[in-house]
Amino acid sequence: MSLPGQLRSARLQLLLRLLLGLVFVYASLDKIADPPGFARAVYLWQVLGPVPANVVAVTLPWIELLAGLLLLAGVWRRDAALVVAALLVVFIAAATLVLARGIDVEDCGCTSVALAAGTDAEGPWPQAWTRGVGWFLITRNVVLLAAALVVSFVEVRGRTDAPSPA
Amino acid sequence: MRAAVVTGVGAACGLVWNAASGRGFDLGRSVFVQSGDELVTAAEARARLDAGALFLDARPRDFWRMSRIPGAVALPEDEFESAFAEVEPLLRRTSNVVVYCSGFGCEASHVVARKLRERGFPAVILDEGLPAWEDAGYPVDQESRS
């Protein structure tokens, strides 16, 4: 089977959809539980001023949660994947900017705000995953972006639903 | 269109959650600002410097060595307890104290100002720290210090 053919596989699409859904739902929960803690994490990136960073800190986790739940449920899956892809593009651009400016962000706040809030709590994931803005984070987000683009733009074999027109 | 709906509904949920959940915060100011914190602009800080204020640099000591507001003394947040002993005699000579760190992403100046307040030494915080000072065109010392 050719690569485009494999990408159209219903099983692969299901796997990618569930992976993205789980990652984004998980990533949203801690941020939703502690909005000021996540705002601290956003400040560390020094990409936005305090007030825009505050707005991002309270709205972004809910967009992640909603898109993640839709992906898990398989409802509006291609549109939800498009939202996730757009978020990942923004995350990659912001991380690249942080690296280019030489800003040392020890805790990206990606999935947990505990470290940004000043505690050393260990989460269930390796610290390299949750901490630090660097090439690991960018690479991870590029992989997730590829998955989101596949779910959003590659038609599942036997299905014809497309993202709704903008 | 649906992607915009997902984004809009998500953002609305976030704003409602922030306003109504009891876990939210004031979106109009830095989350670092707490009750009792007093912020001053770079211009106000400059006026205080001209009036002989004591400036305290809350960043790690290496950053203070590299560049600092003229006359600023190091009081790093990460070594507050040991550094406080060195600074305390200076604090006893003035009530005009300004603390700063490296900008809006830095909480150290707020933490240091609170610790000073707890010890009976009120201090104001330079809003947005050293970058705001530099952006205003005010001088910075850059010679090496030990």
The domain spans of chain B are 1-28, 32-135
Contact B3 A163 (CB under 8 A): yes
Q: Is the pLDDT of residue A114 over 70?
A: no
Higher per-residue pLDDT: A105 or B4:
B4
Which position has the higher pLDDT, B125 or A125?
B125
Q: Which residues touch A12 (CB under 8 Å, ≥6 apart)?
A: A6, A150
C-beta separation of A60 from B18 below 8 A: no
Put simply, whether A153 touches B (Cβ < 8 Å) is: no
Whether A62 sits inside 8 A of B29 (CB atoms) is no
**ipTM of this complex prediction, to 2 decimal places:** 0.82
pLDDT of residue B143: 67
pLDDT for A82 equals 97
**In the predicted model, what is the mean pLDDT of residues A45-69?**
94
Looking at chain A, list the stretches that DSSP marks H as alpha helix, in order from N- to C-terminal side. Answer: 3-7, 10-33, 35-45, 50-73, 77-100, 127-130, 135-153
List the CATH code of the domain at B32-135.
Answer: 3.40.250.10
Contacts with A165 from chain B: Cβ below 8 Å? 1
Please tell me the distance from the alpha carbon of residue B56 to that of residue B15, in angstroms, as a whole number: 37
CA pair distance A26, B137, nearest whole angstrom = 45
- pLDDT at A18 > cutoff 90: yes
pLDDT category at B145 given cuts 50, 70, 90 is low
Residue A158 pLDDT class (50, 70, 90 cuts)? low
**What is the tens place of the pLDDT at every residue in A72-87?**
999 999 999 999 999 9
pLDDT band per the 50, 70, 90 thresholds, residue A160: low
Per-residue pLDDT at A24:
96
User: What is the average pLDDT across B77-93?
Assistant: 94
**pLDDT for residue A62:** 98
